[in-house]
């Protein structure tokens, strides 16, 4: 069975180790302690299927890291985790291209479900067309192509 490649980027070694232990059964986990370490790894050909990144890190902000990831991997799901309570910073990272934001503290099972859903959406092509209807009248198809 294929295990998706998970990249975890967090400057807190306890957090990366905790996440690595929790996710290693279902994912091939790579941990980096800074965005620069992650960019180095990515520059030599590593291609994650999902990224979990902290927001506040040294060398580069989580928002700048998300923007860099979007340029390198436009369709790779990115989840940002942070203890920040300010909604404007959370909004900025979502606007920069993060797919989801999970506030700390969080339950790792919740993060796991969010990750699975994002991977399913990005890697599973639609298998059938969906008929759009309103008030019992068929209005056509939503333009989802068959694979």
Residue 146 falls inside a structural domain? no
Mean of pLDDT values over 7-32: 96
Residue 89 falls inside a structural domain? yes
Torsion of CA 143, 94, 86, 115, to 10 degrees: 80
Residue 13 falls inside a structural domain? yes
Residue 119 falls inside a structural domain? yes
Residue 147 falls inside a structural domain? no
Q: Which residue segment(s) compose the domain that 32 sits in?
A: 5-141
Look at the chain and report how many structural domains it folds into.
1
What's the pLDDT at 135?
Answer: 58
Q: In which band, very low, low, confident or very high, does the pLDDT at 106 lie, cut at 50, 70 and 90?
A: very high
CATH of the domain at 67: 3.40.50.2300
> Is-contact 111 81, C-beta < 8 A?
yes
Q: Based on the number of CB atoms within 10 Å of its own CB, is 22 exposed (0-12), middle (13-18) or buried (19 or more)?
A: middle
**Whole-model pTM?**
0.82
Residue 11 falls inside a structural domain? yes
Residue 14 falls inside a structural domain? yes
Q: Could you tell me what percent of the chain has a pLDDT over 90?
A: 69
Q: In which band, very low, low, confident or very high, does the pLDDT at 2 lie, cut at 50, 70 and 90?
A: confident
Does residue 63 carry a pLDDT above 80? yes
**Is the pLDDT higher at 127 or at 58?**
58
- The 8-class DSSP code of residue 59 comes to S
């Amino acid at each position: 069975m294929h295990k998706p490649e998970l990249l975890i980027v967090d400057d807190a070694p306890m957090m990366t180790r905790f996440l690595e232990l929790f996710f290693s059964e279902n994912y091939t986990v790579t941990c980096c302690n800074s965005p620069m370490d992650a960019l180095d790894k990515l520059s030599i050909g590593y291609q994650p299927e999902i990224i979990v990144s902290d927001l506040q890190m040294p060398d580069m902000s989580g928002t700048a890291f998300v923007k860099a990831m979007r340029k390198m991997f436009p369709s790779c799901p990115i989840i940002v985790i942070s203890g920040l309570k300010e909604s404007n910073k959370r909004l900025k990272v979502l606007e920069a291209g993060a797919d989801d934001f999970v506030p700390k503290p969080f339950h790792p099972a919740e993060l796991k479900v969010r990750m699975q859903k994002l991977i399913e959406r990005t890697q599973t092509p639609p298998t059938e067309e969906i008929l759009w209807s309103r008030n019992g009248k068929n209005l056509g198809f939503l333009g989802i192509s068959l694979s």
